[in-house]
Amino acid sequence: MPDWMDPMLAKLTHDYFSDPDWIFERKLDGERGITYRDGNSVRLMSRNQKHINDSYPEIEEAVAEHAPEQCILDGEVVAFGPDHVSDFQRLQRRMHASSREEARQSNVRVHCYIFDCMYVDGHDITRVSLRARKKVLREAVRWEDPLRWTQYRNEKGEQFLREACEKGWEGLIAKQAGSEYVHSRSSKWLKFKCTRQQEFVIGGFTEPRGKRVGLGALLLGFYRDGQLIYAGKVSTGFDDETLADLRATLNKIKRKTSPFDVGDPEHKCVHFVTPKLVCEVGFTEWTSDDKLRHPRFLGLRRDKDPKDVHKETEQQQA
């Protein structure tokens, strides 16, 4: 049984379609969780190979009880808001819990939606079709919370996307039903998005004004051809606790010079930081000069290397 298998990643497209040879799944806004069970050992891993068992101990325990003794399962860990929409901001309290005890005491309930299986009972099944893998997965796991089967639809992608957007979902993932599981980004999996959001590197922050605590705004960037491009700042989407925690974290990585190779923030009270942290940001659109319109902070990410953060378009996949 392999110690690690790189997860398959989807490409963004705006060319939505329906096709009998494709299936369509709900795109969940959470943290990718690749689960490895080998006998009594269960490892829940992020897509950049970080152990995340301590954030989600109930998922570890459920896998030990309800999954095959040897398996590698691919899924997404999510928390839901009161509107039954996956809520990445709500998940933050579990992602960044300082210990298993803090995670257990949290009032944030999580679920792991499993959508693929790479290995089971001594067999690597990545080279069989997606439909066959899903059949194996459906029968191999005992589906009890917090483990959930990921529902999907056949053929009618455009109709499903309209329904998804009306419900406030992030979008859909379209998957070619006969495709193998590859350990890279692939056009066999495509993202249909209702809203725009992606990861950005934090390159600095501004001082708060008035009664605001912690910081005023985060300075955002993305990499292009090895250069960090300034993409504007985000000042909404924070509560006071998040602002204070971010300020304490950013103070530890402050630097005197700008990390941005292209573009500079036009603000007097700026503090620059070493570009080590990645955050998720929602926004309405890009401007012609690579700036964000109406950005909103959604939370910190721990599952992506800053150097892998690019402007997500159909031509430049993040």
Q: Which residues are catalytic?
A: 27
* Distance between CA atoms of residues 71 and 77, nearest Å: 18
For 124, counting Cβ atoms within 10 Å of its Cβ (0-12 exposed, 13-18 middle, 19+ buried), the class is middle
Residue 292: Cβ within 10 Å count: 21
Sign of CA dihedral 109, 85, 28, 130: positive
Element (H, E) at 255: strand 254-255
Backbone φ, ψ for residue 175 (5° rounding): -135, 130
Cβ atoms of residues 131 and 177 within 8 Å? yes
* Distance between CA atoms of residues 157 and 153, nearest Å: 8
| Contact residues for 15 (Cβ-Cβ < 8 A; gap 6+) | none
> Whose CA is closest to 227, among 199, 263, 197?
263
**How many CA atoms lie less than 13 Å away from 283 in the CB half-sphere?**
24
* Distance between CA atoms of residues 301 and 47, nearest Å: 11
What Rg do the C-alpha atoms of the chain give, in angstroms?
20
CA distances (Å), 112 to each of 66, 142, 150, 285, 308, in order? 13, 13, 9, 31, 25
Cβ atoms of residues 39 and 122 within 8 Å? no
What is the SS3 string spanning 220-232?
EEEEECCEEEEEE
